[in-house]
């Protein structure tokens, strides 16, 4: 009797029940033609596109968070130019209507049986899988963190819990070192660790405190930015504004009670330097999503192993990947995800017809380098590190128009274009705009 009641309850939830345990409907087996893992940028955008291609009833998204955030605006939240509230919307509101939202965490992916197991014990099977699980941030790899964030004067734009602490530290700045770090790992939006330095400099000038501050950017990288065209202009800016850039310096410890940051010199193993700070902005070490890393879908490092042209998995042809969780050899950004959605849509439409994928991803990525409260250098480039600029003007120049685009246009393009599967990056417009100039 009890089992029958359970069965009725489960059936009334609308779950596609093909097999049922008597004890709990949490163990009900569900099946979808297209299963999307992750309801972040790539996951929501692809679910909107898959709904259009296959019908909503054939698509499900696994995501446990009740809120969806537009992370790129956190740079401006950390500098007090936008509110955190403005960066988030409920996951329910961005989920395409009719698409099944599985409100759980993915625990295990089994591509050999075409199944996924969630943290509440459900097994979901799929015909096709899109993995969009993003990357993992690792504050805990720095000694003294994350507990150090309980102290004042320290923040990080890289998480919801810490981004407002950056703004607090900036407002409370009195006198001393403003220190910014860049870890010894891949990161998402490789420009963000220094954008907040430029904004800090601008804020301190605006509030008359700049002459009491030493602004220091300690980066693990051997360059200020990976693409020479933009690096050249950034070096000029840091010189002009008296911002100290130290290369190959990696943050390994924060003694937040004493306001000390410890950096190791990556070129001289064993050599460390302790910096006292009045403000510290931490960019955490990052790495592959742990669920991807623990599955057979991972490459030897742990990233999702996909074909760089078509975004199809290299060993499992019914699996696809997008965004920060993949091993696509380009810089990890939302702008890159936008371009990838158009390519992946095309790849999947071909695979569904038993045809070969044709359109190739060129690696397009973009980083709006915010250099003050009203200027941006808009870096755009491809797999080869070649600039691939949308506008027929020199983008390696600080421009007010680009700041307006970053702060006010991009969020609209994100919520109403990208997430609805209507914005596949600026590629087509680039061609038009450049044609117009010829
Ligand atoms: P995400 O959007 O991170 O989504 C991953 C999703 O997977 C999340 O919703 C997460 O909850 C979910 N997930 C993870 N694990 C599980 C699990 N086990 N089970 C279920 N769900 C799971 N990009 C730009 O283009 N321009 C910028 O100016 C820019 N600035 C940035 C500034 C900052 C401070 C930050 C943090 C990022 C910035 N980015 C920028 C990067 C951009 O936000 C990301 O590259 C983009 O969101 C990646 O999309 P994604 O779908 O791959 O991952
Ligand atoms: C972009 O497409 C995008 O996604 C909506 C961003 O936000 C995550 C960006 O920051 C940028 C720069 C682009 C590229 C778009 C144009 C118009 C250059």
Closest CA to 298 of 38, 125, 109: 109
Which ligand minimizes its atom distance to the CA of 69?
1
How many angstroms from the chain centroid is the CA of residue 278?
Answer: 28
Is 390 contained in some domain?
no
Model-level pTM?
Answer: 0.94
Domain span holding position 181: 137-284
pLDDT in tens, 264-320: 999 999 999 999 999 999 999 999 999 999 999 999 999 999 999 999 999 999 999
Is 56 contained in some domain?
yes
69 C-alpha to ligand 1 centroid (Å)? 8
- Ligand 2 in contact with 338 (CB < 6 A)? yes
Residues 180, 191 share a domain:
yes
Is 149 contained in some domain?
yes
Integer Cα distance of 60 and 40 in angstroms: 14
Among 131, 133, 339, 409, the mutation site with the greatest number of ligand 1 atoms within 8 A of its Cβ is 133
- Ligand 2 in contact with 42 (CB < 6 A)? no
pLDDT in tens, 200-224: 999 999 999 999 999 999 999 999 9
Catalytic residues, by residue number, are 189, 367
Helix 192-206 and helix 163-171: axis angle, to 10°?
30
Residues 85, 170 share a domain:
no
Residues 275, 193 share a domain:
yes
Structure tokens at 74: 């956190």
Of 359, 379, 404, which closes a domain? 359
Contact 311, 343 (CB under 8 A): yes
Nearest atom (ligand 2) to Cα of 391 = 18
- Whole-number pLDDT of residue 149: 98
For the chain, the domain total comes to 2
Contact 279, 178 (CB under 8 A): yes
- Whole-number pLDDT of residue 162: 98
What are the b/e assignments for 34-47, b being 16+ CB within 10 Å? bbbbbbbbbbbbbb
Q: Is the pLDDT of residue 4 over 50?
A: no
pLDDT in tens, 84-109: 999 999 999 999 999 999 999 999 99
Among 188, 337, 363, the mutation site with the greatest number of ligand 1 atoms within 8 A of its Cβ is 188
DSSP string for 347-395: HHHHHHTT----------EEEEEEEETTEEEEEEE-TTS-B--SSSS-S
Integer Cα distance of 335 and 64 in angstroms: 24
Q: Is the pLDDT of residue 260 over 60?
A: yes
Of 341, 359, 377, which closes a domain? 359
pLDDT in tens, 149-204: 999 999 999 999 999 999 999 999 999 999 999 999 999 999 999 999 999 999 99
Is 404 contained in some domain?
no
Alpha-carbon distances of 318 from 34, 35, 306, 340, 382, rounded to whole Å: 10, 11, 11, 17, 27
Integer Cα distance of 39 and 103 in angstroms: 10
Residues 274, 144 share a domain:
yes
Of 359, 379, 414, which closes a domain? 359
């Amino acid at each position: 009797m009890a089992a029958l009641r359970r069965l009725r309850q489960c059936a009334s939830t609308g779950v596609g029940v093909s097999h049922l345990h008597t004890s709990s409907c949490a163990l009900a087996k569900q099946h979808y033609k297209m299963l999307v893992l992750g309801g972040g940028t790539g996951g929501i955008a692809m679910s909107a596109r898959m709904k259009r291609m296959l019908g909503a009833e054939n698509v499900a998204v696994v995501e446990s968070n009740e809120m969806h955030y537009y992370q790129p605006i956190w740079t401006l939240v950390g500098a007090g130019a936008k509110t955190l509230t403005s960066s988030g919307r409920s996951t329910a509101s961005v989920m395409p209507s009719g698409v099944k939202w599985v409100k759980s965490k993915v625990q295990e992916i089994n591509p050999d049986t075409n199944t996924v197991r969630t943290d509440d014990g459900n097994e979901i099977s799929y015909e096709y899988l899109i993995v969009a699980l993003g990357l993992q941030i690792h504050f805990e790899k720095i000694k003294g963190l994350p507990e150090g964030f309980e102290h004042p004067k320290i923040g990080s734009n890289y998480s919801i819990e810490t981004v407002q602490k950056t703004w607090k530290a900036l407002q409370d700045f009195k006198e001393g070192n403003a220190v910014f770090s860049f870890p010894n790992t891949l990161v998402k939006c490789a420009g963000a660790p220094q954008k907040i330095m430029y904004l800090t400099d601008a804020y301190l000038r605006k509030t008359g405190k700049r002459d009491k501050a030493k602004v220091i950017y300690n980066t693990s990288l051997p360059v200020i930015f990976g693409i020479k065209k933009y690096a050249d202009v950034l070096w000029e800016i840091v010189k002009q504004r008296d911002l100290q850039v130290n290369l190959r310096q990696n943050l390994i410890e924060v003694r937040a009670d004493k306001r000390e940051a410890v950096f190791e010199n990556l070129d001289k193993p064993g050599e460390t330097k302790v910096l006292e700070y009045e403000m510290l902005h931490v960019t955490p070490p990052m790495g592959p999503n742990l669920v991807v890393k623990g599955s057979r879908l991972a490459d030897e490092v742990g990233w999702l192993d996909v074909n760089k042209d078509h975004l199809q998995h290299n060993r499992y042809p019914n699996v696809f990947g997008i965004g920060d969780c993949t091993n696509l050899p380009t810089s990890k950004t939302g702008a890159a995800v936008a371009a990838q959605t158009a390519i992946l849509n095309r790849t999947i439409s071909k695979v569904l017809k038993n045809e070969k994928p044709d359109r190739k991803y060129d690696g397009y990525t973009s980083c709006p380098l915010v250099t003050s409260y009203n200027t941006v250098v808009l870096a755009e480039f491809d797999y080869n590190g070649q600039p691939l600029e949308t506008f027929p003007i020199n983008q390696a120049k600080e421009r007010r128009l680009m700041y307006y685009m970053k702060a006010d246009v991009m969020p609209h393009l994100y919520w109403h274009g990208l997430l609805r599967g209507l914005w596949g990056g600026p590629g087509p417009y680039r061609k038009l705009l450049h044609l117009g100039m010829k």
